[in-house]
């Protein structure tokens, strides 16, 4: 019985890894970019946005690094700090957004 429980607990590690990887990749695969939305919002208010501004936004959000680095940072924050990160749009912690029930 003890071996069975231990085996089942050890199987949760790869399961959780693959679930988080799939969720992360699906979120990144959604068409469009938060940076494009931010740029369009700025331009709709009459503010001109250059390519350098767009690159600065990507850098500040951490989107200018490879996808595996983004995943590593995200999963590292979950493991080390218990944080799901910060909303790219609202700049508030995702856990607070979930706790408040969304918008």
The count of domains in the chain is 1
Give me the pLDDT at residue 53, please. Answer: 81
Phi and psi of 47, rounded to 5°? -90, 125
Phi and psi of 93, rounded to 5°? -60, 140
CA distance 76 to 73: 5
List all residues 6 or more positions away from 1 whose beta carbon is below 8 Å from its beta carbon.
Answer: none
pLDDT band for position 55 (cuts 50, 70, 90): confident
Residue 57 belongs to some domain of the structure: no
Residue 18 belongs to some domain of the structure: yes
Give yes or no for residue 48 having a pLDDT over 90: no
Residue 87 belongs to some domain of the structure: no
Domain that holds residue 27: 1-31
Residue 54 belongs to some domain of the structure: no
Give me the pLDDT at residue 80, please. Answer: 92
Task: Give mean pLDDT, residues 49-75.
Answer: 88
Helix, strand or coil, per DSSP, at residue 99: helix
Give me the pLDDT at residue 103, please. Answer: 59
pTM: 0.74
Task: Give mean pLDDT, residues 6-13.
Answer: 94
Residue 81 belongs to some domain of the structure: no
Give me the pLDDT at residue 32, please. Answer: 83
């Amino acid at each position: 019985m003890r071996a069975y429980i231990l085996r089942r607990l050890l199987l949760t590690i790869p399961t959780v890894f693959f679930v988080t990887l799939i969720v992360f990749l699906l979120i990144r695969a959604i068409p469009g970019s938060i940076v494009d939305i931010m740029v369009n919002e700025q331009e709709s208010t009459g503010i001109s946005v250059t390519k350098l501004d767009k690159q600065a936004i990507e850098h500040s959000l951490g989107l200018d690094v490879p996808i595996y680095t983004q995943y590593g940072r995200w999963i590292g924050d979950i493991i080390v700090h218990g944080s799901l990160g910060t909303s790219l749009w609202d700049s508030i912690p995702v856990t607070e957004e979930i706790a408040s029930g969304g918008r």
